[in-house]
């Protein structure tokens, strides 16, 4: 652009006499001027929005260049006497102000090209100054419009200029009047036509200061941009921002003494547009630590604008765009201060009114959600023509009061159950139990997935999870007697966490097992094994579970004689178990291995110290002996018991005891010969230090004598043994040595020999205090002494030319190197000569250099000081070596090969054999499954059902009488509730939040959208995509044209289907009762009284639906089943699949899903396979809640045993989920 403007200016100058060319050049120059002005406007806006200093400085430099370029186009007006055109005058004034505002550094700090441009611009401004002043005086309105670009004014209240005049040189002065809505305010404006400096009340353009206490609120309103300001003309305000979000003029002021503390205190922000005068009210005004004037969703993340005219507070919520917070209108929540009503308009002039947070109604609603969501985060409002509504904004949930006077959520498709007993998780205060309004037996639990806090209350646990913006949904599966959830790691581990912390000594009515048993079984199952690295939430849940394991440590740690058990006082004993931590460590170990392939690294080392592993394993195994089996375990852990060796009955195999007897025997018998050691010197050389013979051994502590290092105290021990006269004193000295685990018995025998043999007592002892690094017959070596002397070689003398080596020639450098080499070789020879001279004096206590024959290139005195230390050490060791040689010769003469044999111990008492323990607690699979079950042909299920119903009637009064007690303390048999006829089915496969009227066949709009997507694939240039698109088109056509079969019994009444499903559920309970009674029947191994006592002590194996079905696994340990056991279990599983199928049919009927209804009705199941041959397939149907179709079975069987004779699994596009299921069947 600079080149273009330069060329155009040259054309205008050179063609001044031409009639046509200057006109075209001036038009092009005007166009370049407009382009530069647009650049200036855009760069000014970018400068305002810049969030960091570097970006702002870069934008300012670009704006400076654009403004200078624009002003260069005014060179053609230098010699002009006519006033500037109003448009050109406005552009020139804006560019002058832009140059001044963006020239924020010294001119010398700018690039050289820009420096020249600034100097040239200053000269041009001075030459045009007179013309510009006269033009401004002649057109005050143009001046007002020009300064409005950098000093915004209200759209409906333009400023008025008066007393416009020129003062001094290049200064234009005027008075500006502006109405702020109440008063008219006067301000004085100065403008310098040369520099472009604009002053308002003698103050220039500046940046809004952001003190730390105001940074948060200003950042929320305007982001991280630098806020440029002008002095404000509103009373009480100090700054007017140069930006106008949504045409709002923003004024900022400060309070000298704010009445409250917190973000936004002490700062006043006002927004003005038209007749709307708004002031920002800080959030702290509406809340305190204990109370809230407005619900939390209308306080947190919201801005509150007070209309100073009407007294209404507009509540604006943050949106995705920063511009949304300035969309202030009557459609938002509005608080009328005068009436105290907070409302928002809806359709047909209706209004939603906020329920007062201090009202009894709000308190009642908050009590319902207590534990699940905090009171301040509830938004309760009353629509004009509808029922009361409750909004949980953090969870994106809405509740309304339905006709049953219960809170129902359309997102969940469920209502809050008036009965909050879930059959498990007793003591959990943060749960909300929901039920499907179309099927009251379909229930679920919502729990916030915040940090878990547990406290003890007597013998029970009270558990809370802190409310947060994440919640988990868990389905109560009464058919299988368990809690189900999605296969997400966080939900899975949180389920185990809740089971573990809410455990009691009594089994839960739903699961039939205690929470600890349920958690342990679930954590050891395959679904809890990670398939990808666990995130921080899952690791935190596992870490919390691991804290339930008691810690066991030795005391003292190094002795391992006693132990300390650390149990958490804040937890009951029933929730703490030794198996939790090993399971958690196993899961985290798998996750750590998978971390190698992860992009985000999560710290897996979050577990606290575990204590001693051996003690933990011992406690776990010992505890399992006294626990019942609750999973598919076949036998209890059996380990070989270590035989206890009592101190009063020592065994011959007790080596330490035999050593003590041997030493005492030697000191009592005083033998002529004895077995000691064949190489005393070698044994002593294995230690770094051998004690000297100066003093006797005086330590009397038993601990010191048991942990003694014989070699370190060898000299004092030898002297003590030689001087002790009493054999009993010698026994008490040497016996503890021989009992020590660290003692070398050969050395102890040698010490005894010093007390027994007179020859050893007569040997002269060395005089030195100790002997370091002793080696037998060691003498100084030439190579070693030379190595010691080498560090003291005299260095080569420095030459004056060394510093000039970089300038020396190659010949001179070679000569210098040769001289140094000769010196080094001579010094090495001198080191070797000195070493040989010293060795010639060996053996002597200290070498001497007085007779040295020649000078050496060695610092002799310094080297000799080091050599003397090593020389003395070797000389002392030589004395010890000579002494030991003399001792060894005596020991060899007195040596005997006779080995000591300890006498037989005669016990004073007889110990009788105890009974063999084990087998007191039976196991489900190896023990109870060997019993005989009733034949399926001999017992009528209808009769069993009738008997069960009569039993339920009899026990109904007992159950009602115990209704006020906690279910964990009711000792009645666990039974399913009675199933009364219902008008709604159970939804199993479809999401529970889906309405019953929701059409699963796509609508016309959805079909059109799908066809558009498929058509894009079909029209692709890729043949693969075209083929795939054609297949999708055929699938879509078949799905849209899918209609129910006219012959299908789709018209069956819901009541009939539901009644049949209820009968099947009762059939499941009947079969369970038959199996349970068969297991509890007495036989030759289990008497009736034993069974009764085991059940009373909760030691009878856990018999539940899950544990019974687990017996059909092909992976379980094979055992011989009793008579009719397998048949009854298969029949039990078939009853469950049949009931699940009828529940799915009932659900499809209620939802109007004709396709699914037809599929379920057409597939009776088990037509081309028998569950007794493939029990795993039956378990797959129960677990997945589906019925395997015949074509899926055909594909699976053909894959398992194909006609070709070779097995293979190949993924095929088969439709209807055939591949996903048949691959499981193959596995």
| Integer Cα distance of 823 and 1097 in angstroms | 95
Answer for the pair 1068, 1135: CB distance below 8 angstroms, yes or no: yes
More confident residue, 66 or 860: 66
Query: Angle CA(901)–CA(907)–CA(908) in degrees, nearest 5?
Result: 145
Q: Say if residue 131's pLDDT is above 60.
A: yes
611: left (phi over 0), alpha (psi -120 to 50) or beta: left
Contacts made by residues 1038-1044, CB under 8 angstroms, sequence distance 24+: 1039/1001, 1039/1002, 1040/1001, 1040/1002, 1040/1007, 1042/1001, 1042/1154, 1042/1155, 1043/1154, 1044/1154, 1044/1155, 1044/1157, 1044/1158
Beta bridge partners of 457: 460
The tokens describing 994, both together, are: 């889906």
Share of residues in the chain with pLDDT > 90 (%): 32
Tell me the H-state helices in 670-756. 680-684, 702-706, 714-723, 727-739, 745-756
Angle (nearest 5°) at CA 180 between 179 and 181: 95
A 10 A CB-CB count for 204 gives 13
* 299 DSSP 8-state letter: T
**Residues 656 and 741: beta-carbon distance below 8 Å:** yes
Sign of CA dihedral 213, 214, 217, 218: negative
Cβ atoms of residues 666 and 757 within 8 Å: no
**Least confident window among 284-298, 816-830, 837-851, 1000-1014:** 1000-1014
Q: How many CB atoms lie within 10 A of CB 483?
A: 23
Q: CA–CA separation, 872 vs 879, rounded Å?
A: 11
Provide the 8-state DSSP code for 474.
Answer: E
H helix runs in 266-409, sequence order: 360-368
Among 219, 311, 232, 231, CA closest to 264: 219
Are the CB atoms for 424 and 499 separated by under 8 Å?
yes
State the angle between helix axes of 21-49 and 53-72 in degrees (0 to 180), rounded to the nearest 10.
160
The Cα 411–Cα 992 span in angstroms is: 9
- Range with the lowest mean pLDDT among 441-455, 650-664, 820-834, 981-995? 981-995
Output 581 or 1036, whichever has higher pLDDT. 581
Q: How far apart are CA 200 and CA 223, in angstroms?
A: 27
Over 60: is that where the pLDDT of 289 sits? yes
Q: Return the H-helix or E-strand segment holding 176.
A: strand 171-179
Residue 556: asked if its preceding bond is cis (omega within 30°), the reply is yes
Phi–psi pair at 203, nearest 5 degrees: -125, 135
Mean pLDDT of all residues in 53-72: 86
Structure tokens, 497? 């966490």
Long-range contacts, stretch 285-291, CB < 8 angstroms, 24+ apart: 285/260, 287/376, 291/357, 291/358
SS3 for 838-871 is: HHCCCCCCCCCCCCCCCCCCECHHHHHHHHHHHH
Cβ–Cβ under 8 Å, residues 273 and 154: yes
Q: Which residues contact 860 (CB under 8 A, 6 or more apart)?
A: 792, 834, 849, 852
Q: Which residue has the tokens 């080498």?
A: 790
- Please, which pLDDT band fits residue 1170 given cuts at 50, 70 and 90? very high
User: What per-residue confidence (pLDDT) applies to 186?
Assistant: 84
What's the confidence (pLDDT) of residue 374? 92
Q: Residue 1115 above 80 pLDDT?
A: yes
- At 597 the pLDDT is 82
Q: Yes or no: say if 466 and 394 are a contact pair by the CB < 8 Å rule.
A: no
823, 796 contact by CB (below 8 A) = yes
Look at residue 99 and tell me whether its pLDDT is greater than 80: yes
Q: Using CA atoms, how far apart are residues 927 and 907, in angstroms rounded to an integer?
A: 42
> Mean pLDDT across the stretch 779-794?
82
Q: What are phi and psi of 660, to 5 degrees?
A: -65, -45
Which has the higher per-residue pLDDT, 1057 or 873?
873
Q: What is the mean pLDDT of the chain?
A: 82
Q: Six-digit token pair at 919?
A: 């087998």
Cβ–Cβ under 8 Å, residues 405 and 390: no
Going through 193-340 in order, the beta strands assigned E by DSSP cover 198-200, 206-207, 228-231, 239-241, 249-254, 267-273, 276-281, 302-307, 312-317, 333-336
Structure-token match 């034993």, residue found:
1090
DSSP states of 968-1013: GG--SPP-PPP----SS----SS-TTS-TT--SS--HHHHHHHHHH
The pTM of the full predicted model, rounded to 2 decimals, is: 0.69
Is residue 875 helix, strand or coil? helix
Between 628-637, 778-787, 1152-1161, 1164-1173, the lowest mean confidence (pLDDT) is in 628-637
Distance of CA 1105 to the CA centre of its chain: 35
Total count of residues recorded for the chain? 1227
Who contacts 785 (Cβ-Cβ below 8 Å, separation ≥6)? 835, 838, 839, 867, 870
pLDDT-derived band at 958, boundaries 50, 70, 90: very low
- Report d(CA 1050, CA 405) in Å as an integer: 33
Those residues with Cβ within 8 angstroms of residue 411's Cβ, 6 or more apart along the chain or in another chain? 396, 397, 398, 993
Q: Which span out of 834-838, 1006-1010, 1155-1159 was modeled with the highest average pLDDT?
A: 1155-1159
| Gap between the Cα atoms of 407 and 405, Å rounded | 7
* Separation of alpha carbons 64 and 43, rounded Å: 9
Our CA dihedral for 644, 646, 651, 656, rounded to 10 degrees, sits at 100
Which CA distances in Å does 807 have to 796, 801, 816? 21, 10, 13
Q: How far apart are CA 338 and CA 612, in angstroms?
A: 70
Window from 731-735, 1021-1025, 1039-1043, 1091-1095 with minimum mean pLDDT: 1039-1043
Q: Is 1058 exposed, middle or buried (0-12, 13-18, 19+ CB in 10 A)?
A: buried
Cα separation values, 469 from 182, 372, 448, 466, 926, Å: 46, 10, 8, 10, 48
The 10 Å Cβ neighbour count of residue 1185 is: 18
Map tokens 């006498």 to a residue.
903
pLDDT in tens, 328-348: 888 889 999 989 899 999 877
pLDDT of residue 418: 93
Lowest mean pLDDT among 365-379, 592-606, 873-887, 1093-1107: 592-606
Q: How many CB atoms lie within 10 A of CB 70?
A: 27
Interval 580-612: pLDDT, tens: 999 999 999 999 899 888 777 777 677 888 889
CA separation for the pair 113, 288 (Å, rounded): 60
**Contact predicate 1157/1145, CB 8 Å:** yes
- Which of 72-81, 482-491, 662-671 is the least confident region? 72-81
Give bridge partners of residue 174 from the DSSP assignment: 189
Spell out the residues 6+ positions from residue 404 whose beta carbon is closer than 8 angstroms to its own.
Answer: 415, 437
């Amino acid at each position: 652009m600079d080149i273009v403007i330069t060329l155009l200016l040259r054309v205008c100058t050179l063609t001044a006499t031409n009639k046509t060319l200057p006109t075209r050049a001036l038009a092009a120059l005007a166009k370049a001027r407009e382009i530069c002005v647009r650049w200036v406007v855009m760069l000014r806006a970018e400068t305002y929005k810049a969030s960091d200093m570097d970006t702002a400085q870069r934008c300012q430099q670009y704006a400076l260049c654009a403004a200078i370029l624009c002003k260069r186009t005014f060179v053609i007006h230098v010699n002009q006497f006519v006033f500037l055109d109003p448009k050109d005058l406005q552009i020139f004034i804006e560019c002058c102000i832009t140059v001044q505002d963006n020239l924020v550094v010294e001119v010398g700090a700018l690039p050289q090209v820009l420096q020249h441009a600034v100097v040239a611009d200053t000269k041009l401004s001075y030459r045009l100054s007179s013309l510009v002043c006269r033009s401004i005086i002649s057109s005050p309105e143009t001046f007002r419009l020009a300064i409005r670009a950098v000093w915004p004014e209200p759209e409906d209240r333009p400023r008025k200029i008066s007393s416009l005049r020129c003062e001094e040189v290049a200064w234009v002065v005027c008075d500006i009047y502006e109405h702020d809505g109440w008063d008219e305010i006067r301000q004085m404006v100065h403008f310098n036509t040369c520099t472009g400096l604009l002053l308002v009340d003698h103050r220039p353009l500046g940046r809004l200061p952001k003190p730390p206490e105001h940074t948060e609120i200003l950042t929320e309103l305007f982001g991280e941009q630098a806020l440029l300001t002008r002095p404000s003309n509103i009373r009480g305000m100090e700054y007017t921002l140069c930006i106008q979000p949504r045409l709002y003029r923003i004024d900022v002021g400060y309070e000298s003494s704010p009445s409250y503390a917190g973000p936004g205190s002490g700062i006043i922000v006002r927004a003005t547009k038209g007749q709307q005068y708004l002031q920002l009210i800080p959030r702290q005004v509406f809340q305190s630590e204990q109370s809230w004037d407005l619900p939390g969703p209308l306080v947190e993340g919201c801005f509150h604008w007070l209309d100073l005219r009407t007294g209404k507070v507009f509540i604006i919520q943050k949106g995705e765009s920063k511009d949304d917070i300035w969309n202030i209108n009557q459609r938002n929540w509005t608080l009328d201060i005068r009436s105290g009503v907070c409302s928002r308009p809806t359709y047909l002039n209706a209004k939603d009114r906020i329920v007062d947070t201090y009202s009894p109604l709000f308190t009642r609603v908050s009590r319902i959600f207590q534990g699940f969501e905090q009171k301040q985060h509830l938004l309760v409002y009353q629509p004009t023509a509808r029922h009361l509504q409750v909004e949980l904004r953090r969870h994106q949930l809405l509740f309304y009061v339905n006709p049953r006077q219960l809170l129902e959520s359309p997102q969940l498709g469920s209502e809050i159950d008036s009965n909050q007993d879930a059959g498990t998780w007793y003591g959990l205060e943060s749960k909300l139990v929901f039920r499907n309004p179309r099927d009251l037996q379909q229930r679920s639990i919502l729990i916030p997935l915040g940090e878990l806090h547990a406290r003890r209350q007597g013998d029970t646990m009270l558990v809370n999870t802190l409310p947060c913006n994440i919640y988990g949904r868990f389905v109560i599966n009464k058919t299988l007697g368990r809690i189900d959830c999605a296969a997400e790691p966080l939900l899975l581990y949180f389920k185990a966490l809740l089971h573990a912390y809410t455990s009691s000594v009594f089994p839960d009515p739903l699961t039939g097992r205690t929470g600890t048993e349920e958690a342990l079984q679930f954590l050891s199952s395959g679904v809890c094994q990670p398939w990808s690295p666990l995130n921080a939430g899952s690791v935190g849940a596992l870490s919390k579970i691991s804290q339930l394991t008691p810690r066991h440590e030795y005391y003292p740690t190094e002795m391992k004689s006693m132990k300390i058990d650390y149990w958490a006082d804040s937890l009951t004993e029933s929730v703490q178990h030794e198996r939790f931590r090993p399971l958690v460590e196993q899961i985290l170990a798998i996750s750590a291995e998978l971390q190698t392939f992860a992009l985000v690294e999560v710290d897996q080392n979050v577990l606290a110290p575990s204590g001693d592993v051996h003690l933990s394993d011992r406690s776990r195994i010992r505890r399992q002996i006294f626990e019942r089996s609750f999973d598919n375990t076949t036998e209890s852990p059996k380990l070989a018991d270590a035989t206890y060796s009592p101190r009063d009955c020592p065994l011959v195999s007790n080596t330490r005891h035999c050593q003590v007897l041997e030493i005492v025997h030697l000191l009592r018998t005083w033998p002529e010969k004895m077995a000691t050691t064949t190489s005393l010197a070698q044994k002593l050389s294995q230690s770094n230090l051998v004690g000297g013979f100066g003093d006797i051994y005086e330590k009397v502590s038993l601990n010191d004598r048991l942990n003694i290092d014989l070699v370190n105290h060898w000299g004092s021990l030898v002297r003590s043994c030689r001087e002790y006269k009493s054999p009993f004193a010698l026994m008490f000295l040497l016996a503890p040595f021989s009992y020590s685990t660290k003692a070398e018995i050969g050395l102890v025998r040698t010490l005894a020999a010093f007390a027994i043999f007179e020859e050893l007592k007569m040997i002269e002892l060395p005089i030195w205090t100790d002997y370091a690094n002793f080696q037998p017959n060691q003498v100084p070596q030439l190579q070693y002494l030379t190595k010691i002397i080498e560090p003291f070689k005299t260095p080569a003398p420095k030459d004056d030319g060394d510093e000039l080596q970089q300038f020396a020639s190659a010949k001179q450098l070679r000569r210098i190197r040769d001289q140094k080499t000769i010196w080094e070789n001579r010094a090495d020879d001198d080191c070797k000569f000195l070493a040989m001279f010293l060795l010639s004096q060996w053996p002597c206590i200290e070498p001497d250099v007085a007779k040295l024959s020649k000078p050496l290139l060695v610092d002799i005195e310094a080297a000799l000081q080091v050599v003397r230390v090593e020389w003395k050490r070797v000389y002392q060791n030589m004395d010890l070596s000579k002494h030991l040689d003399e001792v060894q010769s005596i020991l060899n003469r007195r040596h005997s090969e006779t080995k000591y044999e300890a006498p037989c111990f005669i016990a004073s008492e007889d110990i009788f054999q105890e009974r063999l323990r084990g087998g007191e607690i039976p196991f489900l699979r190896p023990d109870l499954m060997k019993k005989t079950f009733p034949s399926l042909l001999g017992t009528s299920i209808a009769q069993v059902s009738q008997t069960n119903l009569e039993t339920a009637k009899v026990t109904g009064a007992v159950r009602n009488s115990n209704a006020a007690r906690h279910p964990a303390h009711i000792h009645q048999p666990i039974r399913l509730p009675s199933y009364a006829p219902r008008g709604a089915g159970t939804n199993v496969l479809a999401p529970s939040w889906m309405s019953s009227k929701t059409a699963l066949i796509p609508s016309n709009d959805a079909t059109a959208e799908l066809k558009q997507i498929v058509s894009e694939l079909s029209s692709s240039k890729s043949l693969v995509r075209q083929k795939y698109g054609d297949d999708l088109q055929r699938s879509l056509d078949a799905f849209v044209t899918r209609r129910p079969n006219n012959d299908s019994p789709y018209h069956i009444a819901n009541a009939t289907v539901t009644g049949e499903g209820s009968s099947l559920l009762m059939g499941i309970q009947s079969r369970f009762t038959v199996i349970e009674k068969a297991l509890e029947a007495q036989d030759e191994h289990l008497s009736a009284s034993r069974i009764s006592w085991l059940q009373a002590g909760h030691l009878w194996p856990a018999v539940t639906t899950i544990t019974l079905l687990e017996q059909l696994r092909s992976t379980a340990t094979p055992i011989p089943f009793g008579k009719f056991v397998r048949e009854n279990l298969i029949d039990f599983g078939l009853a469950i699949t049949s009931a699940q199928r009828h529940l799915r049919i009932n659900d499809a009927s209620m939802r109007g899903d004709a396709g699914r209804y037809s599929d379920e009705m057409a597939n009776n199941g088990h037509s081309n396979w028998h569950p007794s041959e493939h029990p795993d397939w039956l378990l797959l149907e129960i677990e997945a809640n589906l019925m395997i179709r015949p074509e899926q079975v055909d594909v699976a069987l053909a894959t398992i045993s194909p006609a070709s004779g070779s097995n293979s699994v190949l993924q095929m596009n088969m439709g209807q989920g055939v591949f996903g299921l048949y691959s499981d069947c193959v596995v």
